[in-house]
Amino acid sequence: MSDQDAYIALISSLPGSERLFVAKQPPLSRLRLDRRLKALTPEDAKVLKVMEHALNWRAYDMDVTDAQAVLRCKQALAEIPQPSLRRLFLERMDLRTVVAALRLRGQGGNPLSGAYGFGRWSRHIPANWGDPDFRLSTAMPWIKEARQLLEAEDPLGLERLLLSVSHKQLKRHAARHLFDFEAVAIYVLIWNIFDRWAQSNAQNAVARFEKLAQQAMSNVADFDFERVSA
């Protein structure tokens, strides 16, 4: 069987999912998903592992520093050859950068001169630090709600919002891919979002919120990427 035929068979075997926040669990277990992912070529399996490791909050030890998290994301990007997956990855980094900036400012932090954070908004944000939404409300319509949830100290609400935004981003990319590796990778990242929400609860969200707020203040030179998402 050719790689293309194998991927068609793989995609066809993956069950669809219910609406996010309605489904109580992912459409299949991780064990069953991993069994089906054995159809990936070694090269594609490595790329998927790199992406999951960089984007999945469970891949980070709670004591990881901001600098280590940023470095991990940069290293991951260098190991993703597919243009569409690189764009997807950078979109997620943009989201995390903006949320980390909101958190940092809310804790009384100040932007440093020069390069800031990670991604295309790294210089835009400090230049617009005094604007409530960093003048990004058009590019990121969800930023106002994220800011309000942070101000209200509602970590579970913020988590739900960010998972929803990430899910919509992935679904948009999924529409451009059907039976290729990119389609498989996007499916797995969506699976991670469903799994993330299924295991969420208010107590854990509060603990993560407090930990991340402390990190944002302890190292303002780099942003924290130990954030939800998928």
Q: Say how far apart CA 43 and CA 188 lie, in whole Å.
A: 16
pLDDT of residue 122: 81
pLDDT tens readout for residues 61-91: 445 555 666 777 888 999 999 999 999 999 9
- 42 vs 110: which has the higher pLDDT: 42
Q: Say how far apart CA 124 and CA 96 lie, in whole Å.
A: 15
Give the alpha-carbon dihedral of 83, 88, 90, 94, to 10 degrees: 160
Q: Say how far apart CA 127 and CA 131 lie, in whole Å.
A: 9
Let me know how long the chain is.
Answer: 230
Q: Say how far apart CA 218 and CA 133 lie, in whole Å.
A: 23
In the block, which residue shows the tokens 């050719």? 2
Query: Where on the phi/psi map is residue 73: left (φ > 0), alpha (ψ -120 to 50), or beta?
Result: alpha
Least confident of 99-108, 136-145, 188-197, 219-228: 219-228
pLDDT tens readout for residues 125-172: 998 999 999 999 999 999 999 999 999 999 889 988 999 999 999 999
Is residue 101 within a helix (H) or strand (E), and if so which, with residue range? helix 83-106
pLDDT tens readout for residues 163-211: 999 999 999 998 999 889 999 999 999 999 888 888 775 456 556 655 6
Q: Please tell me the pTM assigned to this model.
A: 0.80
Q: Say how far apart CA 159 and CA 169 lie, in whole Å.
A: 15
CB 176 within 8 A of CB 189: no
What confidence tier does 114 reach under pLDDT thresholds 50, 70, 90?
A: very low
pLDDT of residue 221: 41
Beta-carbon count within 10 A of 91 CB: 18
In the chain, pLDDT over 70 holds for what percent of residues? 77
Q: Quick one: tokens of 146?
A: 């994220």
Q: Write the CB contacts of 224 (distance below 8 Å, at least 6 apart in sequence).
A: 66, 69, 96, 100, 103, 212, 215, 216
